[in-house]
Amino acid sequence: MKNAVKHKSEKTETINTCQKPGQMQTIRKVLRYIRRYWFMVTLSLLLAVAVVALTLYVPILTGDAVDLLLGRGLVDMAAIFDIMFKIGIAVLVTAAAQWVMNTCNNYITYHVIRDIREDAFRKLEKLPLQYLDSHAYGEVVSRVIADVDTFADGLLMGFTQLFTGVLTIFGTLLFMLVTNIPITLVVVCITPVSFLVARFVATRTYTMFQEQSEVRGEQTSLIEEMVGNLKVVKTFSREEAVKEQFGEINGRLQKASLRAIFFSSITNPATRFVNSLVYAGVGVFGALTAIGGGISVGRLSCFLSYANQYTKPFNEISGVITELQNAIACAARIFELIEEEAQTPEAENAKVLSDAGGQVELDKVSFRYVPDRPLIRDFNLKVAPGRRVAIVGPTGCGKTTIINLLMRFYDVNDGCIKVDGTDIRDYTRGSLRTSYGMVLQETWLRAGTIRDNICMGRPDATEEEVVAAARAAHAHSFIKRLPKGYETVITEDGGSLSQGQKQLLCIARVMLCLPPMLILDEATSSIDTRTELKIQNAFARMMEGRTSFIVAHRLSTIKEADIILVMKDGNIVEQGNHETLLAQNGFYAKLYNSQFAG
């Protein structure tokens, strides 16, 4: 439930103690996902070996053909044509193997990405509300969407270029050692320079790309918040302030991106310089060896081709390393989400709450959103079945927090909450929440038809039951005026429906389910006075025999409650019915009289 309960600001200060994983830890986690597709990985490696072997075999054939060009009138055309035929076969087989290898790599990459996204989404459904309250929605979306896409690009590049690049390097060295050891030693002596360059870049770009991903997530969060609350931004003329905030974040993103790109861009020219040294060294030393008769011209041409093929993967690998640094930094953010501590698991022998009687007891309950800031202390309350309990008090006193604890969106820090004499932690969350019907000030609708939204809690409800619930909520008349009535499709935010109409749909949803216990948190705050009076009568009929908790700021709506709890700073300062509390002339009387002064 994205906005099931509007929480207080204390929760946004919850400290995230998750430690950022190291680079090697992240790589090990990625390998665990890749291991599931070991067959495709093995096939891809075998095909990479075949591609590299055939690619390196072609220069040998070319060198043999050069050696057959002995001079005027001494060219063995039959043997050359035979070699050309072999080269053609090798090229065709290499192309086919390359195509199959790329298909395998795509299969592995996007299945791994699918698995990671599924795990991330499953974790989102299991995360406690504390996590979602302390993290901006846009930042979470950025991890699941943008970071995973970036990780996919890096992983695919790693499979397609890293495997073949490494194999090409070792394969080329092997072929060169077989052909001529002294010239190979020239290549080997210059090679460490490339590794030093790659290491220099790798050690510096990982943290830079990690910072880039974090700032990008912050930017996504701001955009998501601004677009979702554009009316509020315009109402308070905050456009310039938001633009300044966006500019500041965009500036940090620019700085982080430029640093990361600058260091990563050093790699290519540096490795190309090393490549040129290798090629020049092979050319000079090989020419001197050929003059001395130590190697044929054909073998020298083969060696030059190997020197070119040997250095080429270093360019590719350097680019891959840069992308992999970015990908691993993004993967680390994804795994941070996946490894977040889930909500407290249900007890192994958890009971299913069915046909709840409605007896609710809060026994010495204490709760805090922030460890060093208590909100509710030693709270005691016993509600008999069928009683109507109203909770009133100033903003931030803990009214909505009580609702969160009753629904077990949060667990108490001390004490316990009991329903029908059993600690709610001994019930399954699903059965506990199904036993409550909840209408909030913040409406929540799903993308679908009007009927889908009303019968969300009872998908098997008949047409007559849906219409009866809508009539009871006084929503039937406006629904019939919609283009397709109950089949009208609305978006997640309700589309063109007014706030009051959306709230009526939420009320109809509860009236269809008729659970044994009710929670009404400013349930009629967006409804006109005339309709509110009618709905209050409907609520009164619905609450008969049902334990009800009513949170209200308009005290005129809770006069008929059996007991009114007056809260202040997380404590009950007064309790009783409306007449008793007015007679006490205490805090409740001040609140009530302040609303009806004059």
Rg (CA), the chain: 35
At residue 356, the pLDDT reads 82
Helical (H) or strand (E) element with 151: helix 148-157
Q: What average pLDDT does the segment 17-37 reach?
A: 75
Global model pTM greater than 0.75: no
Question: Of 269-283, 506-520, 560-574, where does the model show the most confidence?
Answer: 506-520
Nearby residues of 362 by Cβ (< 8 Å), 6 or more positions away:
379, 380, 381, 382, 402, 405, 415, 417, 418
Query: What mean pLDDT is reported for the chain?
Result: 80
**If we measure between CA atoms, which residue out of 469, 203, 480 comes closest to residue 325?**
203
What's the burial of 528, exposed, middle or buried (CB within 10 Å: 0-12/13-18/19+)?
Answer: exposed
Q: Are strands 448-449 and 489-490 parallel, antiparallel or unpaired?
A: antiparallel
CATH of 347-435+517-598, one of 3.60.60.10, 3.40.50.300, 2.60.40.10, 3.30.930.10: 3.40.50.300
What's the burial of 194, exposed, middle or buried (CB within 10 Å: 0-12/13-18/19+)?
Answer: buried
Q: Binning pLDDT at 50, 70 and 90, where does residue 4 land? A: very low
| Distance in angstroms (rounded) separating the CA atoms of residues 350 and 392 | 33
CATH of 446-514, one of 3.30.930.10, 3.50.50.60, 3.40.1280.10, 3.40.50.300: 3.40.50.300
Q: Binning pLDDT at 50, 70 and 90, where does residue 96 land? A: very high
| Distance in angstroms (rounded) separating the CA atoms of residues 525 and 19 | 43
Whether the predicted pLDDT of 491 surpasses 90: no
At residue 496, the pLDDT reads 77
| Distance in angstroms (rounded) separating the CA atoms of residues 465 and 513 | 10
| Contact (CB, 8 A) for 122 and 114 | no
Tell me which of 90-94, 169-173, 333-337 is least confident: 169-173
Amino acid at 479: I
Q: What average pLDDT does the segment 248-270 reach?
A: 81
Whether the predicted pLDDT of 240 surpasses 60: yes
For the chain, give every domain's residue range.
22-338, 347-435+517-598, 446-514
**106-143 pLDDT per residue, tens:** 898 889 989 998 998 888 888 887 787 777 777 788 88
**464-480 pLDDT per residue, tens:** 999 998 888 888 888 99
Handedness of CA 78, 80, 82, 85 (dihedral sign): negative
- Bigger pLDDT: 555 vs 358: 358
User: Is CATH 3.40.50.450 what the domain over 22-338 is classified as, yes or no?
Assistant: no
What's the burial of 396, exposed, middle or buried (CB within 10 Å: 0-12/13-18/19+)?
Answer: middle
Q: What average pLDDT does the segment 469-494 reach?
A: 86
- Bigger pLDDT: 190 vs 366: 366
Q: Binning pLDDT at 50, 70 and 90, where does residue 2 land? A: very low
| Distance in angstroms (rounded) separating the CA atoms of residues 101 and 159 | 9
Handedness of CA 280, 282, 283, 284 (dihedral sign): positive
- Bigger pLDDT: 503 vs 417: 417
Q: What average pLDDT does the segment 412-436 reach?
A: 88
Q: Fold identical between 347-435+517-598 and 446-514?
A: yes
**368-420 pLDDT per residue, tens:** 887 777 788 888 888 888 888 888 888 777 778 888 888 888 888 888 999 98
